[in-house]
Chains A and B, each alone.
Chain A
Amino acid sequence: SQQGEEDPQALSIQEGENATMNCSYKTSINNLQWYRQNSGRGLVHLILIRSNEREKHSGRLRVTLDTSKKSSSLLITASRAADTASYFCATDARRAQKLVFGQGTRLTINP
């Protein structure tokens, strides 16, 4: 069964606005990761948050993790056209040596 589910499936906003994507998962994890995928390319790692962390920042990215709700959110502030991409969360179930990816959120930034 799928470990991660993302919401919304698609999001379209104006340049300069903030974008928020959510990820829910089912089992205990060691960490949760967010990736970006531009059209026709591979995934690029954005940020990793450990299960004992609640919030992490990287540039315009802010990730939160709530292990009690088994959920995470990715906030992109002051969005740019170049942020247009699909964003995936990935979780590693404890004792597993692999990641399970969510369905992804397709983000479109309108100029």
Chain B
Amino acid sequence: EADIYQTPRYLVIGTGKKITLECSQTMGHDKMYWYQQDPGMELHLIHYSYGVNSTEKGDLSSESTVSRIRTEHFPLTLESARPSHTSQYLCASSANGNQPQHFGDGTRLSIL
């Protein structure tokens, strides 16, 4: 299995809280991605990064923000969580943009 880790695996939290989802990889990959996936549904790209200090918005509009200060770390932040943010968030990395992506096991987020 690939060395990419996401924490927490599950998070249940109240509306209005600030949340940070962590994602770290030890493969030295420049490219990192965040996807949002509802159960049994397709993946939607919400953020990606080509390298340190590079972040771009994905195909699906999201109220979340990301940062890439270190190659191995790509955290996602929600400043004020809402029930509409309830979903699974998957982090991935790759050596190149069109090469295989390595995925973490995801964070299942529930906003009450």
| Contact yes or no, A99 B40, CB < 8 A | no
* A interface residues with partner B (beta carbon < 8 Å): 2, 30-31, 33, 40-45, 48, 86, 88, 90, 92, 96-104, 106
**Quick one: given A98-B33, A98-B45, are A41 and B105 in contact (CB under 8 Å)?**
yes
The answer for the CA separation of A90 and B59 in the assembled complex, in Å, is 14
The answer for the CA separation of A101 and B44 in the assembled complex, in Å, is 8
Q: What are the 4 closest A-B residue pairs judged by CB atoms, nearest first?
A: A97-B97, A42-B103, A92-B98, A45-B100
A-B contact pairs, 10 of them (CB 8 A): A40-B108, A41-B105, A42-B4, A42-B104, A43-B90, A44-B103, A97-B98, A98-B97, A100-B45, A103-B41
For residue B103, which residues in chain A have a CB less than 8 angstroms away from its CB? 42-44
The answer for the CA separation of A43 and B37 in the assembled complex, in Å, is 11
**Quick one: given A42-B90, A42-B105, A99-B101, are A86 and B48 in contact (CB under 8 Å)?**
no
| Contact yes or no, A101 B43, CB < 8 A | yes
| Contact yes or no, A42 B59, CB < 8 A | no
B11 vs chain A, min Cβ distance (A): 14
The answer for the CA separation of A45 and B103 in the assembled complex, in Å, is 9
| Contact yes or no, A101 B97, CB < 8 A | no
The A-contacting residues of B in range 1-22, CB under 8 angstroms, are 1, 4, 6
| Contact yes or no, A43 B98, CB < 8 A | no
**Quick one: given A42-B105, A97-B50, A98-B48, are A33 and B41 in contact (CB under 8 Å)?**
no
Choose one: B42, B50, B96; the contact of A104 (CB below 8 Å). B42
Choose one: B35, B59, B96, B101; the contact of A45 (CB below 8 Å). B101
| Contact yes or no, B42 A102, CB < 8 A | yes
| Contact yes or no, B106 A42, CB < 8 A | yes
The A-contacting residues of B in range 29-56, CB under 8 angstroms, are 31, 33, 35, 40-43, 45, 48, 50
| Contact yes or no, A30 B98, CB < 8 A | yes
| Contact yes or no, A31 B98, CB < 8 A | yes
| Contact yes or no, A88 B43, CB < 8 A | yes
Further contacts, 15 of them, CB under 8 A, given A42-B92, A88-B43, A101-B42: A30-B98, A40-B105, A42-B6, A42-B103, A43-B43, A43-B92, A97-B96, A98-B58, A99-B45, A100-B45, A101-B43, A103-B41, A104-B40, A104-B42, A106-B40
